Homo-oligomer: A and B are copies of this chain.
């Protein structure tokens, strides 16, 4: 939004004040506070945490879920696109696992309906962990401590990919980031964010960003076209949701990414082309809304976005049970 006269600045500030007053009624806001995780099945979550960190679910024995959804790095790998088995270049930017349970579907194109369905994908993807579900199960079943943990988590019954992905998904569901300063503001603490951040939020709403970036995750609630007003130019060949629906309407439509913890999950967009938040905000304004932000506006939106960095999941680094002589060995170089 090019602010051509000082007059236009005033409504924004005025709105900001109104929003400040309205903070005690977060029910009115299109972004909702993130609630802390409720762990109802601790044994399943603990098992899932181990599996999430276990590189033996990959052919090489080197790549785990945490490799590309690194929980030291905002649940992402901070690479343009990920590195897969044999250093293959991934096709798309790795989305953060944080708050991913709040998305309407998983993967950029939504091809998995939930985290459980998603978790099986990379294990068997030749460009990622390059394993098979059968071989991953052979590894797990060969390890007595895993057998005990599965029994503790799920009771009797086979160790199958259904239970493996259910455990991983149960751990991932705990990876939420409540208590950001913005959430404290949403919950009525008017001083939790600065005037600049509040102005950024107001502009974010006024200009229309919030039409797609809404809900508790400030995203993940819909599929939208990348390049609404102006076409997005990229060398990345990803086609978006059309690959799932085979409906041309869905070409270049991607799941709207969450903006929670976006300060940590650079670089941005499905192709990872935007290395900074300032660039991402500028590009989104132009391509999706037909607006050019002033430097001050851009800075205020960036400041608002950074106020959505929440408490990161904190947990003890898991200790993985050792392989046994029966465990199939990794095959990194073939």
Q: Which residues of B contact A312 (CB under 8 A)?
A: 319
Q: Across the two chains, which residue of chain B brings its CB closest to A312?
A: B319
Q: Across the two chains, which residue of chain B brings its CB closest to A67?
A: B62
Q: Is the CB of B78 within 8 A of A61?
A: yes
Q: 0/1 per residue, A292-334, Cβ < 8 Å to B?
A: 0000000000000000000010111111101101000110110
Of A36-44, A81-89, A229-237, A250-258, the one touching chain B: A81-89
Q: A72-B320, A89-B332 are in contact. List 9 more A-B contacts (CB 8 A).
A: A55-B77, A62-B77, A72-B317, A73-B320, A79-B330, A83-B332, A263-B322, A267-B329, A275-B329
Asked whether A264 and B330 contact (CB < 8 A) given A71-B317, A79-B62, A83-B62, the answer is no
Is A266's beta carbon under 8 Å from chain B? yes
* 8 A-B pairs with C-beta separation under 8 A: A55-B70, A60-B83, A73-B320, A87-B87, A87-B332, A266-B322, A276-B325, A314-B319
Chain A interface residues toward B at CB < 8 A: 53-56, 60-62, 67, 70-74, 77-79, 83, 86-87, 89, 263-264, 266-267, 275-276, 278, 312, 314-320, 322-323, 325, 329-330, 332-333
Nearest-neighbour CB distance to chain B for A301, whole angstroms, equals: 15
Nearest-neighbour CB distance to chain B for A37, whole angstroms, equals: 16
Q: Is the CB of B314 within 8 A of A89?
A: no
Q: Is the CB of A61 within 8 A of B87?
A: no
Give the most central of A62, A70, A71, A314: most B CB within 10 Å: A62
Q: Which residues of B contact A332 (CB under 8 A)?
A: 79, 83, 87, 89
Nearest-neighbour CB distance to chain B for A76, whole angstroms, equals: 11
Among B55, B74, B323, the residue within 8 A (CB) of A322 is: B74
Nearest-neighbour CB distance to chain B for A42, whole angstroms, equals: 18
Q: Is the CB of B333 within 8 A of A89?
A: yes
Nearest-neighbour CB distance to chain B for A167, whole angstroms, equals: 16
